[in-house]
Chains A and B, each alone.
Chain A
Amino acid sequence: MSKPPRPAKPGKATKAEGRRLNIGAVRSSFAPWNDPNATPLVRFEGVTKRFGDQVAVNDISLDIYPGEFFALLGPSGCGKTTLMRMLAGFETLDAGRITLAGEDISDAPPHKRPVNMMFQSYALFPHLNVEQNIAFGLKQEGLPKAEIKARVAEMLELVKLQDFARRKPDQLSGGQKQRVALARAVARKPRMLLLDEPLGALDKKLREETQFELMDLQVELGVTFLIVTHDQEEAMVMADRIAVMREGRIVQIGRPEEVYETPSSRYVAEFLGDVNLFETTVEAIEHPMAHLDSSASTAGFYVLDDDCPGPGATVWLAVRPEKMRISLDPPEPGAKNVLAGEIWDIGYTGDWTNYIVELPGEKLVRVARANSQRFVERPIGWDDKVWVSFDPDAGVVLTS
């Protein structure tokens, strides 16, 4: 399947890019959230939802901008689905309000909202065929027959299901059902498309393919997408911005690379990918370095002093496994951030090998190494003595 080149998103002037924004491997000029003059499409203002005495959504305020692909990411029960269902109109608000294009829609019934949702279970109408399913929303608008027919044909082509128009949902594969659900949801040209775990029921290969197709589709249609997912990889691949949720609150919002590389808390760091956390005490600030004292290393750690509190404070140092190096040879004398240990476990996944290294004091550290060469002169084996090291800019200092 050949993909058309992805057109650039409507660019807005970005802030002067300092080192903070220059992280990760992705460069994008689409960042309306940094533009004080941009108007959001959807605004959640102090939105709260309770179920009994449990607060599912706790005072959330959030702006989503036109053309954005926005992801709500969190474990099950964090309130992400409830937040989306409130936007679709399936849950009432206990406090706060939701506006769409400046209009308060907090009390509008679902059938009067210009948003459409793709359900996790797809919710295809079993008694209607593919064509009728896609036409359902158009029929409700009372469009002329010819126009409905044309739009359905257009949608079938968009999701490449022209040959399946007369099939009933139970005669389709999972991937085909997913496409019908998608076509049905976008057929009405909604202001916003809500996707509830859209790829959850697909197998891994199909999921990866569909991720890119969804991104292309979003650009092609120019519709704002809001996706709910518990799969961090899915969110990172597709979204322009990710909101990480926990217990009814948003704990961090940012571009995928921001959230991954500069997590705001241990929770975010651990939820997105793997991370090694060291509990440390700030020993001294020696600008641009901070010297951290830790039980894991007698020499302590040296990291960049961004956002690092003053001496004496307890902080956590977070280092991603892929940003650590592992070696059978001792480092040169005077090297910083070196940990000696023994191989505890090795996980080989083909493209990567994950080494679990046991440090003195039974602390385990995870190091990931890309297998960029087919043959290694001295492969690392179980119980080998190894040295793990990382650069001062590889770690992030977290205070919570």
Chain B
Amino acid sequence: MGSRFRGNGRVVNRAALIPAIWLAVLFAFPFLLVFRLSLSDTALAIPPYTPQLDWAAGIEGLKAFFGALDFEMYRRLGEDPFYLNAYLSSLKFAATGTLLALLVGYPMAYGMARCKPNVRSLLLMLVILPFWTSFLIRVYAWVGILKPQGLFNSFLGLLGLEPMTLLYTPAAVQIGLVYSYLPFMVLPLYAALERLDDTLLEAAADLGSPPWRSFWQITWPLSIPGVIAGCLLCFIPMVGEFVIPDLLGGPGSLMIGRSIWMEFFANRDWPFASAVAIVLLFTLVLPIVLYQRQQAKALEAGR
């Protein structure tokens, strides 16, 4: 641990600058821009908000600028139950979708991890394969499946069952969410389960534990890092999802991503849309922080 390694340390620090710059340019700067917008007032102008910073006025202009910024949009947001409902509804959609993805994804990942290595890579390939097609097209495909005379209802008809109204219902949004984010659940789960040492299960059996109990005592607790990673990878983007509720959902499937779009493009209310976005961001920061902490812990345990 002498001075010999200092040179190396400096190289590592310099390399760490790259993600720092990346974050500053692509996250911190846009965030500040949106935050500043959320403190502005709506105006019939181009750009559609006030105040504008007048550089020519010098210190006075700066004073006037900061004096005009306020939290009015956030107050409006709190007063209008529509947005609170949209947030809650988004969280509900995302939570349900994440849970369903976990229920579907866990057996999938478990089955894959139990396969022979050559079959495993094939199955892994199949999980990733949908990414070769555009996300938008895949969601559109669900319109074809779920519409009144679509594939699903034709199938029900073949079985002699009544057709179901699915398209433009919350159920359609839920299906779309689970379908789209399933790979993000399966992959971390698979990574956790594949790493599991089989001799641990043999040891558990040797110590008198029947297979199903070994699952709950060994496999499940050791796969929890994968479960957490998968859930966060699904939950966070699901909350802000815009395309799926827009294409598959009806008026009943209120989601916050769509509200932001409407405020921004339909109402041209940039400051308010920004406030909605900022609140959404902070709703999601909590799980992200939890995720980070979990990752740090896993890293420590892995050593």
Please state if B209 and A123 are interface contacts (CB–CB under 8 Å).
Answer: no
In the assembled complex, the Cα of A127 lies from the Cα of B210 at a distance in Å of: 19
Q: Which residue of A lies closest to B206 (CB)?
A: A117
Cβ distance B79 to chain A, nearest Cβ, rounded Å:
48
In the complex, chain B residues 210-268 whose Cβ is within 8 Å of any chain A Cβ: 210, 213, 217-218, 221-222
User: A126 within 8 Å of B by Cβ?
Assistant: yes
Please state if A110 and B202 are interface contacts (CB–CB under 8 Å).
Answer: yes
In the assembled complex, the Cα of A126 lies from the Cα of B205 at a distance in Å of: 16
User: B162 within 8 Å of A by Cβ?
Assistant: no
Across-interface contacts of A112 in B (CB, < 8 A): 208
Please state if A109 and B205 are interface contacts (CB–CB under 8 Å).
Answer: yes
Please state if B207 and A127 are interface contacts (CB–CB under 8 Å).
Answer: no
Please state if A123 and B199 are interface contacts (CB–CB under 8 Å).
Answer: yes
Please state if A111 and B206 are interface contacts (CB–CB under 8 Å).
Answer: yes
In the assembled complex, the Cα of A90 lies from the Cα of B206 at a distance in Å of: 9
Q: Which residue of A lies closest to B222 (CB)?
A: A127
Known contacts A126-B222, A127-B221, A170-B301: does B202 contact A116 (CB below 8 Å)? Answer: no
In the assembled complex, the Cα of A309 lies from the Cα of B193 at a distance in Å of: 62
In the assembled complex, the Cα of A116 lies from the Cα of B206 at a distance in Å of: 6
In the assembled complex, the Cα of A116 lies from the Cα of B203 at a distance in Å of: 9
Q: Which residue of A lies closest to B224 (CB)?
A: A127
Across-interface contacts of B204 in A (CB, < 8 A): 125, 136
Which of the listed residues A115, A123, A126, A137 has the most CB atoms from chain B within 10 Å of its own CB?
A123
Across-interface contacts of A116 in B (CB, < 8 A): 206-207
In the assembled complex, the Cα of A119 lies from the Cα of B202 at a distance in Å of: 9
In the assembled complex, the Cα of A137 lies from the Cα of B218 at a distance in Å of: 13
Please state if A121 and B197 are interface contacts (CB–CB under 8 Å).
Answer: yes
| Size bracket, chain B contacts | 10 to 19
Cβ distance A193 to chain B, nearest Cβ, rounded Å:
11
Which of the listed residues A90, A124, A127 has the most CB atoms from chain B within 10 Å of its own CB?
A127
In the complex, chain A residues 84-138 whose Cβ is within 8 Å of any chain B Cβ: 88-90, 109-112, 115-117, 119, 121, 123-127, 136-137
Across-interface contacts of B199 in A (CB, < 8 A): 119, 121, 123
In the complex, chain B residues 286-303 whose Cβ is within 8 Å of any chain A Cβ: 301, 303
Known contacts A90-B202, A110-B202: does B208 contact A123 (CB below 8 Å)? Answer: no
In the assembled complex, the Cα of A90 lies from the Cα of B213 at a distance in Å of: 17
In the assembled complex, the Cα of A281 lies from the Cα of B139 at a distance in Å of: 87
Please state if B206 and A125 are interface contacts (CB–CB under 8 Å).
Answer: no
Cβ distance B214 to chain A, nearest Cβ, rounded Å:
8
User: B200 within 8 Å of A by Cβ?
Assistant: yes
Across-interface contacts of A136 in B (CB, < 8 A): 204, 207, 209, 217
In the assembled complex, the Cα of A123 lies from the Cα of B200 at a distance in Å of: 5
Across-interface contacts of A184 in B (CB, < 8 A): 207
User: A140 within 8 Å of B by Cβ?
Assistant: yes
Please state if A88 and B206 are interface contacts (CB–CB under 8 Å).
Answer: yes
In the assembled complex, the Cα of A140 lies from the Cα of B222 at a distance in Å of: 19
Please state if A111 and B208 are interface contacts (CB–CB under 8 Å).
Answer: yes
In the assembled complex, the Cα of A127 lies from the Cα of B197 at a distance in Å of: 13
Please state if A111 and B209 are interface contacts (CB–CB under 8 Å).
Answer: yes
Q: Which residue of B lies closest to A137 (CB)?
A: B207
In the assembled complex, the Cα of A197 lies from the Cα of B103 at a distance in Å of: 40
User: A177 within 8 Å of B by Cβ?
Assistant: no
Q: Which residue of A lies closest to B208 (CB)?
A: A140
Q: Which residue of B lies closest to A88 (CB)?
A: B206
Known contacts A136-B204, A137-B207, A140-B207: does B301 contact A123 (CB below 8 Å)? Answer: no
Q: Which residue of B lies closest to A120 (CB)?
A: B199
Please state if B209 and A140 are interface contacts (CB–CB under 8 Å).
Answer: yes
Across-interface contacts of B205 in A (CB, < 8 A): 89-90, 109-111
Known contacts A136-B207, A137-B207, A188-B208: does B202 contact A125 (CB below 8 Å)? Answer: no
Q: Which residue of A lies closest to B303 (CB)?
A: A170
Mask: chain A, 149-173; 1 = CB below 8 Å from B; 0 = not: 0000000000000000000001000
Cβ distance B89 to chain A, nearest Cβ, rounded Å:
37
Known contacts A123-B202, A125-B203: does B197 contact A137 (CB below 8 Å)? Answer: no
In the assembled complex, the Cα of A184 lies from the Cα of B217 at a distance in Å of: 16
Across-interface contacts of A111 in B (CB, < 8 A): 205-210
Across-interface contacts of A127 in B (CB, < 8 A): 221-222
User: A141 within 8 Å of B by Cβ?
Assistant: yes
Cβ distance B198 to chain A, nearest Cβ, rounded Å:
9
In the assembled complex, the Cα of A140 lies from the Cα of B202 at a distance in Å of: 14
Q: Which residue of A lies closest to B221 (CB)?
A: A127
Please state if B213 and A140 are interface contacts (CB–CB under 8 Å).
Answer: yes
Cβ distance A112 to chain B, nearest Cβ, rounded Å:
8
Which of the listed residues A115, A125, A185, A188 has the most CB atoms from chain B within 10 Å of its own CB?
A125
Across-interface contacts of B303 in A (CB, < 8 A): 170
Across-interface contacts of A115 in B (CB, < 8 A): 206
In the assembled complex, the Cα of A60 lies from the Cα of B95 at a distance in Å of: 58
Cβ distance B259 to chain A, nearest Cβ, rounded Å:
42
A-B residue pairs, 6 tightest by C-beta? A137-B207, A140-B208, A123-B203, A110-B205, A123-B199, A111-B205
18 interchain pairs (CB within 8 A)?
Answer: A90-B202, A109-B205, A112-B208, A117-B203, A119-B202, A123-B197, A125-B200, A125-B203, A126-B200, A126-B222, A136-B204, A137-B207, A137-B208, A140-B209, A170-B301, A184-B207, A188-B207, A188-B208
User: Given known contacts A125-B204, A140-B207, what 15 new A-B pairs fall within 8 Å (CB)?
Assistant: A88-B206, A110-B202, A111-B206, A111-B209, A116-B206, A121-B199, A123-B200, A123-B202, A124-B203, A125-B203, A127-B222, A140-B208, A141-B208, A170-B303, A188-B207
Seen from chain B, the residues whose Cβ lies within 8 Å of a Cβ on chain A are 197, 199-200, 202-210, 213, 217-218, 221-222, 301, 303
Seen from chain A, the residues whose Cβ lies within 8 Å of a Cβ on chain B are 88-90, 109-112, 115-117, 119, 121, 123-127, 136-137, 140-141, 170, 184-185, 188
